[in-house]
Amino acid sequence: MKLFTKAVLSLSLAVSLNLTSVCAFAAEEAPAAAAQSGTAGIISHIEKALVEVSKSDFSAAQIHLKAARASSEAIAGNSEAAKKAHASLMQGQIQSKAGNVSKATEELTKTIELYKAL
Q: Percent of the chain scored above 90 by pLDDT?
A: 26
Side-chain half-sphere of 66: how many Cα atoms within 13 Å?
A: 8
21/58 Cα distance (integer angstroms) = 34
pLDDT tens readout for residues 55-78: 888 888 999 999 998 888 877 666
pTM over 0.85? The answer is: no
3-state SS class at 1: coil
Q: What burial letters (b/e) apply to 56-91, b meaning 16+ CB within 10 Å?
A: eebeebbebbebbbebbebbeeeeeebeebbebbbb
Identify the pLDDT of residue 115.
87
45/34 Cα distance (integer angstroms) = 11
pLDDT tens readout for residues 13-61: 666 766 555 544 444 445 444 444 578 888 999 999 999 988 888 888 9
What angle, 0 to 180 degrees and rounded to 10, lies between the N-to-C axes of helices 58-75 and 38-54? Answer: 160
CA 106 centroid distance within chain: 21
Which has the higher per-residue pLDDT, 100 or 34? 100
87/24 Cα distance (integer angstroms) = 29
CATH superfamily of 38-118: IL-4 antagonist (De novo design) like domain (1.20.120.660)
Taking 60 as the threshold, does the pLDDT of residue 110 lie above it? yes
Over residues 102-114, mean pLDDT: 91
Identify the pLDDT of residue 6.
77
